Structure 1
C-alpha cells in the first residue's frame, strides 16, 4: 500500500467524516470535503494572509498523531515557515499550492500528498479562485516546533500561481485541464469511463471543462454563475443542483448565487425562479448554510421607481417607454412602470452583486431564451457598464454547451455586428 493510501486510511479510522460547523456559517464556508471545517483560525491569524479555519481531528495521547483539517478561503496562504520535525499535507478539497523556498510552486488537488522534510522553509494555501482544504499531520510530535517567518507577499504569491491558475490553462491539453477543472468544481474525477453512457460523458466533459472553460478571460466564479443562471432559465434543475455546489466550491458566496438566480425573475418569470431557488436552497441546507440568507434589498415602497429609473435611464434611455406607449387601453404606461419598478427597482438595486455582473448575467439569460430584440439593447448596456465584446463573447461560449451551436452563433453574430 502506498503512502497516500496509508495516510488516508489512518485518517478515516481515526475520525471518519464530519459536518461543516464554521461559526454557524456566519461566514459561509463551502463544504469541499467530508472533513469538518471547525472554527475560524484566529489563534494563528497573524501568520496567515486571508481567512482560514481549523478543525483538530485527533486527540488520542496514546497514538500521538496530531492531525487537523485546515481550510483556506480563495487567495489565503500562510507565511513562510518550517517545522523541526517535518510535516505531511494531504489535499482533500478544492485547489491549493505548496512551495518550498527556492523551488517552483506545486499545484495541489484532492488526493495529493506533500512530504515536508524537517527545517524546510515553505508555505501553502489556496488558489486565487478556489477554496482549499488539506489535512496537516505533525511528524515527530515530541520534538516538532514551528518557526514562523516572513509573509508571502502579493508579488510572491502572484508569481507562484502564475500560468498555473485554472483561469486559463492554455498550456495544458484538454484532457489534463478537464480533469483539473472537474475536480476543482465537483470534487470527483472526470473521464472515468463508468456509467451507462461513458462515451457521451467523455465527450461532454472534455468539451465543457477542457475546451470551453479555457476560452476567454472569465474566472471560475463568473463561469459557474453563468452556468447556474443558464440552467435556471432552462429549468434543468438536477444539473443546477450540481452546479450550485460547484459554484460554492470555487468561491461564489451563497448570497452571490442567490442574487444571480433572483436576477432571472423579470426575464424568465417567477415560477421558474421559485423552482430554481428551491434547488439551490437544498444545496445550501445540505452544506449547513442557515436560511434565509441576509436581506439585500436597498429600496422602499416610496423610492423603488426613482432608484430603478436611476439605473435604467443611463443604460437604456426612454426606448421601452416609447415602444409601449401605443399599447391598447393605455396600459403600456403601466408595463413601462412595472419594468422600472420591478426589474430595475426591486432587483438591480439589490446589494450582493454589482451592476456589471448583473448586466452580464442578464445578457446570458436572454441568450439562453433567444430574446434577440432585447439582446441588442442589453449588449449596449453591457458595453456601458464595462463588459467588453470579448467578455460577452466568452460568456456566450460558456452558455453554448447548454443551448447548442445554432442559438449561440446567432448571439455571437449580434455581438460581432454591434
Structure 2
C-alpha cells in the first residue's frame, strides 16, 4: 500500500495516533482516498487549515454526513477551529436545513465536546433581543446583499409576506447577528450548506454573489468547492461551480 508521506502526516495531524481499520479491510480504497483527500486536495492551494475545516464541517452538515462530521469535529479542533465557531456553524445551519436535519449534528457536537472536556454550555453569543432582532436582521441583510434589502421584509404577496419578515427577524436577526463568526464567515458557511445539500441553485447563486460582494472572491470560492469535493463528490461540486460562475457574470454585467 502506497499512501504518500504527505497524506500520512496530514492524517496524523487530524487524528493523532489513530489508525483507520479501512487500511486493513479496504486497502486499495484507503490508498486512493487518502492520497487524494489528504495530499492532492489539501496541497492544491494555500487555504488555511482553520478555514478548510470550517468549510468541511458546514459541508458535512449540508450533505448529512453525520459519521464523517463526528470524526471531523476533533480534527477541526486540532487545526484551530474554536468550539464557539463550531457551535455557530451548527446553529446557523438550522436556518438553511431546518432542525429536522441539524438536530443530529447538535447532539454529535455536544457529545464530542464533552468527551474532549469542553464545558457546556459555551458562553452566549446573542447580540439581539426579540424586540431588536428585526431591525438588526434587516441591517445584516443590507450589509450582505446591499441597500436593495431595505424594507424587503415588508415586500411580497400578502399571503406569504410573513416569510420575508421571518427571513429578516429569524434567519438574519437571530443567527447572523450572533458573535462567534464574522458576517463574511457566516456567508461562506451558508455557501457550503447550500452547495452540499443540492437542489437549491437559485439560493446558492444568490449567496455566491453575496460572498463575492463581501470579499470571498471567485478563486477563493472555487478553492472552497475544490477542498470539499472528497466530501460531497463531483455532481454537487460542479453545480456549485456553475453557480459561482453565474454569480460572477451577473456582477460583471451590473
TM-score normalised by structure 1 residue count: 0.55
- The count of corresponding residues between Structure 1 and Structure 2 is 242
Distance in 1 separating the partners of 2:15 and 2:155 = 46
Q: Secondary structure at the match of 2:32?
A: helix
Question: How much does 1:218 deviate?
Answer: 1.5
Q: In structure 2, what is the equivalent of residue 354 of structure 1? A: 182
Question: How much does 1:203 deviate?
Answer: 1.4
Partners of 2:191 and 2:207 within 8 A in 1: yes
Distance in 2 separating the partners of 1:361 and 1:295 = 20
Distance in 2 separating the partners of 1:193 and 1:240 = 17
Could you list the runs of 5+ residues in structure 1 that have no partner in the other structure? 1-173
1:292 aligns with 2:112: no
**More strand, by proportion:** 1
In our comparison, the structure showing a higher alpha carbon Rg is: 1
Distance 1:332 1:267, change over 3 A: same
Q: Secondary structure at the match of 2:228?
A: helix
Question: How much does 1:190 deviate?
Answer: 6.7
1:340 aligns with 2:189: no
User: Which of residues 383, 403, 415 is equivalent to 2:232?
Assistant: 403
1:382 aligns with 2:204: no
1:199 aligns with 2:28: yes
Q: In structure 1, what is the equivalent of residue 55 of structure 2? A: 226
Q: In structure 2, what is the equivalent of residue 415 of structure 1? A: 244
Deviation by residue 1:196-252 (Cα, 9 ceiling, x = unmatched): 212112211111111111223321111111111111222222211110010111111
User: Which of residues 188, 196, 199 is equivalent to 2:17?
Assistant: 188
Partners of 1:193 and 1:199 within 8 A in 2: no
User: Which of residues 236, 240, 252 is equivalent to 2:69?
Assistant: 240
Q: Secondary structure at the match of 2:25?
A: coil
Q: In structure 2, what is the equivalent of residue 325 of structure 1? A: 156
Q: In structure 2, what is the equivalent of residue 369 of structure 1? A: 197
Partners of 1:304 and 1:345 within 8 A in 2: yes
**More helix, by proportion:** 2
Matches within 5 A, 1:155-174: none
Instruction: Give me the CA root mean square deviation.
Output: 2.2
Q: Which structure ranks higher in relative contact order (CA pairs < 8 Å, sequence separation ≥ 6)?
A: 2
1:210 aligns with 2:39: yes
Distance in 2 separating the partners of 1:384 and 1:412 = 17
Question: How much does 1:342 deviate?
Answer: 1.2
TM-score normalised by structure 2 residue count: 0.88
Q: In structure 2, what is the equivalent of residue 274 of structure 1? A: 103
Partners of 1:396 and 1:411 within 8 A in 2: yes
Question: How much does 1:271 deviate?
Answer: 2.3
